[in-house]
A and B are shown apart, each in its own frame.
Chain A
Amino acid sequence: MTTTEIDNKTGLVTQEYKINMGPQHPAAHGVLRLVLTLDGEIIEKVDPDLGYIHRGIEKMTERDTYKQIVHLTDRLDYLSSHINNEAVCLAVENALEIEVPDRVKVIRTIIAELTRLASHQLWWGVMGMDIGALTTFMYAFRDRELINDIMEETCGTRLTMNYNKPGGLMFDIHPNFQKRVKEFIKHFKVSLPEYNTLLSGNVIFKKRLQGIGYMSKEDAIAYGVSGPSARGSNISCDVRKIHPYSAYDRVDFNEILMEGGDSYDRYMVRMKEMEESMKIIEQLVDNIPEGDFETKTAAVLKLPKGEYYQKVESARGEFGVFIVSDGKKSPYRMKFRSPGFANLSILDKISRGHKIADLVAIMSSLDFVIPDIDR
């Protein structure tokens, strides 16, 4: 319903109206359609409309065996594909009580952190681009390429790696892996301060983000926001700290928390998280224990009857895998708790009263990956 108002002083007739943002919008990072209710340039309501990239992955899992399911999770949040794989593998391993070797745990953690770095780099580049700083994209992709090369060498592909399997890894790490990771860390330690000088301190960028899209602590908890977006509102929710999995219990790192809750704080959380990721990788890369890269498992895994849940910290927040098994080779039901979906739900709340141009900034600061939201 549209309402028509007549301004008493000027006699102007104003009308609230609706426009579509997306599904093919360059700032929407994918096929996300937002129905905006506007008063002039001020946002009154945001209605996300999903379904443009729905592939029914949760249904497809009911058809596949547990080993086959892993590769489907690459296609959820494709920027943290390794972390999603890890979640499924950990869930299956816990259900079957398989103890994976220490070597697997450490390698999984290193690659998960590399994935997180690559994801944050891409986010940083695209965030600058959304605001209007086109250069950042080039810087981010220059550095991300190095991670992609490491992935290509060890895992076989650059983005949808499918490197995990229940019980271990697909191959052992490549002999060059440690050397190249160290080279990358050395390179990125120089690049990250450049990122900060180029964008974080930039006065135009700051003005665009500070005070925009304020998310209070209560709201963030009520809407189930997780990951860096929630940590920008001072909520301690890092799964790596609270429920350590893989090798996170043996590394020393800080959980980044910011007080402000606006877009700039969410931005700074991710920038500082990159430093923490590098710290984790540095601690582990020289200490990869010797041993097997897999535990031998049966050709077809059958989970005992019951319900299993495993959560991990993906680059966007808490990613959960919930399996209901009826004892057969495929799950009876498999549910993915994707961080993007919960983070999207708060978009309406925090963008009301802001301008359309700010909506783009808010969306970037929440870091959406649409296939993750719309499975």
Chain B
Amino acid sequence: MNAVINYFSEIIGGFKTLLQGMGITGKHFFRAHKEIITQQYPDNRDTLTFEDRYRAQVYMEHDENNEHRCDACQTCEIACPNGSIEIIFDRVVDPETGKKKKVLDKHIYHLGMCTLCNLCVLACPTEAIKMSHEFETAVYDRSELTKALNKPGSKLKES
């Protein structure tokens, strides 16, 4: 007799748990209009906001005169764990002091190798490179992931 009672109480208890679960789902179903958390990307591309520290890729800041702050010291190149940064520079003789000085030719950045660890940005002594919020990095060809961060014709900012 006990076995029969247990059998039926188990079935009833089982149904109860199922209904409780359904209750949670039902509650959210009727409240759904109040708690929409889905973002309609890419339709909301214009209104997307990012946190200041969000890291998507490295970029070099240029001011309105097309001048940057990179003095080709190669600290970022040494700090990078993956070899994502290559600095190509010329040695130019300073006319005033007569000493040879590094001048940035190209700051090559391989986005395909970058793990966005932020070590280069922390290492940079002149705050020339920063992390941008440009997160849509898909390209058609792998070679497009390698880019020069300094804009053509740009030069070092006189401080």
Contacts and interface: CB of A to CB of B under 8 A. Distances in A.
Nearest to A61: B81
B53 A174 contact: yes
A229 to B, nearest CB: 25
Interface string A343-357: 000000000000000
Nearest to A146: B37
Interface stretch (A65-73, A88-96, A361-369): A65-73
A155 B81 CA distance: 19
Contacts of A152: 51, 53-54
Given A64-B81, A71-B117, A174-B53, A197 B13 contact: no
A202 B53 contact: no
Interface stretch (B17-25, B88-96, B97-105, B147-155): B17-25
A202 B81 contact: no
Interface residues of A, number: 31
B126 interface: no
B60 interface: no
Contacts of B116: 157, 160
Q: How large is the interface on B (under 10, 10 to 19, 20 to 34, 35 or more residues)?
A: 20 to 34
Nearest to A203: B14
Contact of B13 (A69, A142, A157, A203): A203
A67 B119 contact: yes
B81 A154 contact: no
Interface in B51-82: 51, 53-55, 79, 81
Contacts of A155: 53
A203 B18 contact: yes
B122 interface: yes
A199 B118 contact: no
A156 B52 CA distance: 8
Interface of A: 64, 67-72, 74-75, 135, 142, 145, 152-157, 160, 162, 170-171, 174, 194, 197-199, 201-204
